[in-house]
Each structure stands twice: as structure tokens, then as C-alpha cells.
Structure 1
């Protein structure tokens, strides 16, 4: 890890162009963010986008080689990042990572709960190890990270938590029963968290619900039939990229202070389901 330094923003938000009546957008320059699942996909793209906007980003994941490479890339672009080895399934690892970021930077203003798994299979294939792993990462991991960061935000009386759910947190799909269950849990927890900490502690909560996004999630699919379905789907329509979700997160983050963008359902234009 390295020391924190403040950045100058280089991006303008849609709020800067849309704001009316003199309502200021939320300034993100100089804020501190913790992003889980930052070694690839949406997490890495979000880290890059927030760093460009002047946010110091704590990059949390297990693959430290990926984090070090991303940290170097962000530094080359003029941003600031800290690599934090973290396994969201392990509460002790999460607590240590959060403590290290707070010690280095003094606060955590933004939490992006992004770590997740999606190994598709039918229930009667009984891939129970995959079921439990999804529950551990997608649900318990999110709870572990939220529990570790929330006390700091409460002390600050400020913060913004982003939870990555999915279209599977709103709908049910064959082969995705357990994954859907975990993402429905994320969606429900997000809304409950918003109601409990918003007014009381001045903490905003946003649930991001992407449709088809080109990420490494599909590499975890061990069922050959479902893996072929996803490969075929990718040839039939243009998937979203991690950068598209990163831009969505920045949009919600820069909303004026009195605005909580509670849910964002983001799909490819060609996605008809």
C-alpha cells in the first residue's frame, strides 16, 4: 500500500450538465473508495473511472498480481490507488483490509460491493459446492464488507454504499436458481439498508442491477450446456462492458446530496428479456 494523495477531477458528470436551480452535485474529488472484486471486470473498470474523477481507490481482491497491475495503470493515468489483498468470505481478512485503508487514508467515503460468482447449473445436477460458494461470496461476502465499513461511515455521518445485484435480482432464470436467490438477497438487503441508515446516518445506498455484461463471471460456468448458451448469447447481442457500469456508478455517486439513486437497472439495448 502507499500513502494517499488528493486528485483533481478530470471528468464531468451528467449531473453537472443536468442540474437546475443551482443545486450542486456531490463532489467526489478527494474521496476514498473501497472496491471489492477489483481485480477484473466491473470492479477494475469502476476503480479506473473513479480514480479519473479524483477518488483514491482501495483495490480489494485475492489476486494481488492483478491488483498491482491495475494500481500501476491507474498511477500512469495520474490517479491514486492502493492494492489490498482481501477475501470477502473471511471476516478477519475484510476487517484487516478496511483497517489498512482507513489507517492510510483516514476515511472510507464510498464502498462498492462488487465481488461475486455466477456458476450456472440446473438444481438437479446437485453442484452444491457451487451453491455454497455463491452464498458465501455473493451474500456473506457483501455482508462482511458492509459490516466492516459501515461503522466508519457512521462515525463520519456520511458515505455511499453501492451493492452490485443483477437482473437476476429482479427476475428468475433457468439454471440460475441459486444465483438468483443470492442476488434477490442483495437487492432486498440494499433497500433495507437504505431505509435504516439513510436518514439516520446520512449514508446513501445504491443497488446496481446490470443485465448482460462482458466479465469473467462466465469463466466460472462448469456446465458445458450453459457455457455454450452464454457464448451463443454473446454472439447474438452486444454485451455491456465494465466501463458502462462504472459510468453508472459515477452518475449515482455525483447526484446532489439530497438525491439517493436507490436502484439502477442497466441493460444492453438489444437485451429483450
Structure 2
């Protein structure tokens, strides 16, 4: 197993859900963690909870300047990053229409371009000594449904980009794609189309997979010895069909 003590992990979208759970899991394994998100109060509270070695950095992955500023802080305060978890994302489902056009742009900018920007900015730090890139995708990167077209498009794109990076960056950086199904998070609460939000929320209200369980898988992947790379993990609740 890889000695994780003192390694540095940067987690985007760390203010809730899988991001916050991953921060707790990695801190428990001895990582120092940089928590990146727009909701500064939440990540500061989490950093205070985790204690020494955790820093909160207000950043928006759609704003490259803020990501660059975050990378500068990580370099100066923590000595650079060993693990980047591209977790920031939004799921604004709804029927395809002009009324949803702002949601489509937001999903492309956060889910896809945000991950690309964060990776581009932190890449030199990741390559310095051998790092890990964890991209959080979705089951929607494999299966599309009515009403999730643009969301699925961002996740399909994430999957293809991750595979290309896997080949390009080896052996310096291991790339792992995590594709969860329904997980008990706040994702549905941001859906702007009311009918869709109500329908999706019903499924999430009974979600059995918890963010902590996804975080455990991420910690397991990162703990593998450097000669072993786990490139892709698809996970669903046992009773989720698609």
C-alpha cells in the first residue's frame, strides 16, 4: 500500500456530499487537504473540524483566476498537491428547451470545463513526484435518459477525456474515473425545473448509498501501490437498474 501520511489532496466541490466525505476520509488516512468550493463558510467549518493540515480556499472552478490563486496557496502552504479530486459538479435536469439554456451552460462550465481547468492548473504539481487524478463522473456517463441529455453529455465527455489523460499522463500521474449512481447528496435540490426536481428528489430521498461509501472507495484506490492503477470504478445502489 502507498504511504499516505503527509500527502496533499485538493478536493473541488468540497462543501458537501462526496467532496466533504472524501475530505474526511483522506484526512483520516493522514492526508493534508485543501478544500475548494464557492461556499466559503461550509469549507471553513469543515477545515476547522479536520484540524491541522486542512485549509479552506474559496474558489470557483469556472473562474480560472480563482483556481490559479488556489494552486498558489496549495504550493506555498502545503508544498504542492499529490492528489486532485475533481468533484465539483451540478445536475440540472429537465426537458430540453430554450427555458433551460442557462442550466445547460452551467453544467458544461462546471462539470466538464471546471474539471479540465482545475486539472490544467494543478497538473505540474501533480507530475512533481507522481500524483493521482480522481475524476468524479456518473452512471449518466454510460446511460442517457429523457431529460438528462446535457448532464449526460458532460459526463460522457468526462469519461472520454479521462481515458485520454490516463494514456497521456502515465506513468507520472494515475487517472481514476469514479462513476456513481444515485448517492444521498443534495444534487437534486439545485434542479430549477420544478416537476423534474420533485420526481428526482423522490429517488434521492430513498438513496441507500451514502457519500461516505464513495469516499471509502476513493481512499482505497489511492492507497494502492504505485505499480497498480485502478482506472475506472462504476458503482450503483444494488437495486438501481440503470
Into which bin does the TM-score normalised by the smaller protein fall? over 0.9
Q: For the structure 1 residues 70 and 180, does the alpha-carbon distance in structure 2 shift closer, same or farther, using more than 3 Å as the test?
A: same
> Of residues 216, 222, 225 in structure 2, which corresponds to 1:256?
225
1:179-194 matches, within 5 Å, as 179-194=151-166
The Cα of 1:229 is off from its aligned counterpart by: 1.5
Residues in 1 aligned to 2:189 and 2:29: alpha-carbon distance in whole angstroms: 31
- Equivalent residue number for residue 24 of structure 2: 48
Query: CA shift at 1:125, angstroms?
Result: 5.4
Q: Which residue of 2 aligns with 1:9?
A: none
Q: CA deviation at 1:239?
A: 3.1
- Could you say what secondary structure the match of 2:6 adopts? coil
Instruction: Give 1:225 deviation, angstroms.
Output: 1.9
Q: 2:33 aligns with which of 54, 57, 69?
A: 57
Cα deviation, 1:208-247, whole Å, max 9, x if unaligned, reads 0000011121111121221122232235x53311101100
Q: Which has more radius of gyration?
A: 1
Q: State which drifts further: 225-234 or 160-169.
A: 225-234
RMSD: 1.2
- In the other structure, the counterpart of 1:246 is 215
The 10-residue stretch of structure 1 (216-225 or 47-56) with the greater mean CA deviation from structure 2: 216-225
Q: Which residue of 97, 112, 118 corresponds with 1:139?
A: 112
Gaps of 5+ in 2: none
Cα contact 2:183–2:204 (8 A) shared by 1? no
TM-score (norm 2): 0.97
Measure the CA separation in 2 of the matches of 1:209 and 1:28. Answer: 23
User: 182, 195, 203: which one pairs with 1:233?
Assistant: 203
Larger deviation: 88-97 or 237-246?
237-246
Contact 1:238–1:270 (8 Å) recurs in 2: no
Partner of 1:27, secondary structure, is coil
1:211 equivalent to 2:184? Answer: no
Separation in 2, partners of 1:263, 1:234: 24
Match of 1:149 among 99, 109, 122: 122
Instruction: Give the conservation status (yes or no) of the 8 Å contact 2:185–2:204.
Output: no
| Alignment correspondent of 1:91 | 64
Aligned 8 A contact 2:188 2:204 in 1: no
Note the C-alpha offset of 1:124.
Answer: 2.8
CA distance in 2, matches of 1:231, 1:100: 37
The residue that corresponds to 1:12 in the other structure is none
2:9 equivalent to 1:33: yes
Query: d(CA) in 1 for partners of 2:35 and 2:44?
Result: 9
TM-score computed with the length of structure 1 as normaliser: 0.86
Give the number of equivalent residue pairs: 242
